[in-house]
Amino acid sequence: MLNTSRKWQNPSGGFSFENTRRNAVLETSLSEKGYSAPKARKTGTTIAGIIFKDGVILGADTRATDDMVVADKNCMKIHYISPKIYCCGAGVAADAEVTTQMMSSNVELHSLSTGRPPLVVTVTRMLKQMLFRYQGHIGSSLIVGGVDVNGPQLYSVYPHGSYDKLPFLTMGSGAAAAVSVFEDRFKLNMELEEGKQLMRDAITAGIFCDLGSGSNVDLCVITEKGVDYLRGYDQPAQKEQKEGTYRYKPGTTAVLTETVTPLTLDLVEESVQVMDTK
């Protein structure tokens, strides 16, 4: 806790965001000339979590975008933290990936040190302390969900370090689309199938109504008994069959003129290298 109370000192190792001011100046001078700085790849995502009768269900789409191009059609956005705690990541893809990996290692060490299985609130606190220390420069929004001795829990952590504890949560660019499904149909203590259907519908809303989300729906169901990671639970956006064929017979395009220019080449040197093809 004391590591957030000391006055700000530039860290000697690890991340350094000193260049953000210089980059901002460079970006404005570049844009005057008509160029634009490269942008970090974002997951442009829909992620969501709900608490149901027996535990937690986390859901995510699987599209990673690079500005307006889909960089990865089937990436995994639900990351492992500990045996009964998983974390969905939105925002900058690299930040979300590395942050969750760091948390997973730190939580494992902490759990070995205390001799107890980790608590979801521990993961949330470590995440928010780290993200607050970096003042929002680490662009990852996360939904942490899991089951521990205190029962099923669900937290969201924002890039600047604030957090929320709620029975249903959505984050990412498709958050508005997904939360509208939850606002309409969420009930406390739902059954497993009902919960999975609701989550599937919420992520599908994000996939169809948000340009940054797409491809498949991934679900992760966490209960007392264990974890059920359903990769590719649903594929709502199938590629359609092409109506016509685009093959043309040779001779479809008429040849109007034909000119042949022979290129006379002299053989200057010949060398043979035998390849071992066995």
Rg (CA), the chain: 26
Span of 97-105, 173-181, 236-244, 268-276 interacting with other proteins by CB under 8 A? 173-181
Q: Which residues are catalytic?
A: 45
Q: How far apart are CA 182 and CA 196, in angstroms?
A: 12
- The answer to whether 39 contacts other proteins (rule: CB under 8 A) is no
- The answer to whether 161 contacts other proteins (rule: CB under 8 A) is yes
Span of 5-13, 27-35, 56-64, 262-270 interacting with other proteins by CB under 8 A? 5-13
- The answer to whether 162 contacts other proteins (rule: CB under 8 A) is yes
Among 159, 169, 164, which residue's Cα sits nearest to residue 56? Answer: 169
The binder of other proteins chosen from 81, 138, 175, 199 (CB under 8 A): 175
Cβ proximity to other proteins: between 30 and 166 the closer is 166
Phi then psi for residue 266, to 5 deg, are -100, 135
Span of 81-89, 143-151, 166-174, 261-269 interacting with other proteins by CB under 8 A? 166-174
- The answer to whether 140 contacts other proteins (rule: CB under 8 A) is no
- The answer to whether 163 contacts other proteins (rule: CB under 8 A) is yes
In degrees, rounded to 5, the angle at the alpha carbon of residue 68 between the alpha carbons of residues 64 and 70 is 35
Cβ proximity to other proteins: between 18 and 270 the closer is 18
- The answer to whether 8 contacts other proteins (rule: CB under 8 A) is yes
- Residues with Cβ within 8 Å of residue 65, at least 6 apart in sequence: 41, 42, 43, 44, 71, 212
Look up residue 160 and give its DSSP letter.
T
Are the CB atoms for 77 and 60 separated by under 8 Å?
Answer: yes
Convert residues 66-105 into a mask of x (bound to other proteins by CB under 8 A) and - (unbound).
------------------------xx--------------
Length of the chain (residues): 278
- Amino acid letter at 36? S
- The answer to whether 215 contacts other proteins (rule: CB under 8 A) is no
Count other Cβ atoms within 10 Å, centred on residue 167.
Answer: 16
Phi then psi for residue 124, to 5 deg, are -60, -45
Shortest distance, CB of residue 136 to other proteins, whole angstroms? 6
Handedness of CA 95, 141, 44, 215 (dihedral sign): positive
- The answer to whether 3 contacts other proteins (rule: CB under 8 A) is no
Q: Which residues bind other proteins (CB under 8 A)?
A: 1, 4-5, 7-8, 90-91, 128, 131-132, 135-136, 141, 158-164, 166, 171-173, 175-176
